[in-house]
Amino acid sequence: MKKIQTIPLAALLFFCFCFAQCHKDKTPAPDNPYGLPNATQTGANTFACLINGKKFIAYYNPSNGTGAKVINDTLGVTGQLKAINYFEFIGFSIKGKLSQDLVYTIDSKSMYAILGTDSTCSGISFNTTTSYATRGNIQLKRFDPISRIVSGTFNFVFPIPNCDTLYITDGRFDYQYY
């Protein structure tokens, strides 16, 4: 008699243990150790990178010019910090055939990157300076004209007059474009 009661109890415990293990956290693991948003391809409206090793995470506000847009054969992407004291943005443009998995390199004719920052290099002034990247690349990971999603990765080098050279690394963007 005891054997009959033990088997259902053991089976019940086994099933409870199995189902308890099936609960999974739906938050994906970070794809970088820096605290940047993951490099997604879903139209999450994110833009982030490291500037000389420090996090730059843009806020999304298309009415303020941040986001992505495609006009004819030109893609424009911009990310801007949300700050009260100063103004800083990174943007780039690719002109020509837009295709995912292609790597676009700075050449000033069909692809360029621009950075606007304060001219004191300390982030405390509205007196801005604009610089163009001298080296860098963008790789489109997704370009979907039907869903209107563009995502990819980027890296740039910006020499800033009277400041240090800025190295933009681990860049990622994922926008629904307009």
User: Does the pLDDT at position 19 exceed 70?
Assistant: no
Tell me the C-alpha to C-alpha distance, in Å, between residue 164 and each of 69, 112, 161.
31, 20, 8
Question: What average pLDDT does the chain have?
Answer: 82
When pLDDT is cut at 50, 70 and 90, the band that residue 13 belongs to is very low
The pLDDT value given to residue 130: 81
Please give the model's pTM, rounded to 2 decimal places: 0.79
When pLDDT is cut at 50, 70 and 90, the band that residue 34 belongs to is confident
Domain extents in the chain = 44-176
User: Does the pLDDT at position 155 exceed 50?
Assistant: yes
Tokens linked to 37: 């948003």
**DSSP states of 6-20 as a string?**
HHHHHHHHHHHHHHH
The pLDDT value given to residue 121: 62
How confident is the model over 65-91, as pLDDT tens digits?
Answer: 889 999 988 999 999 987 655 568 899
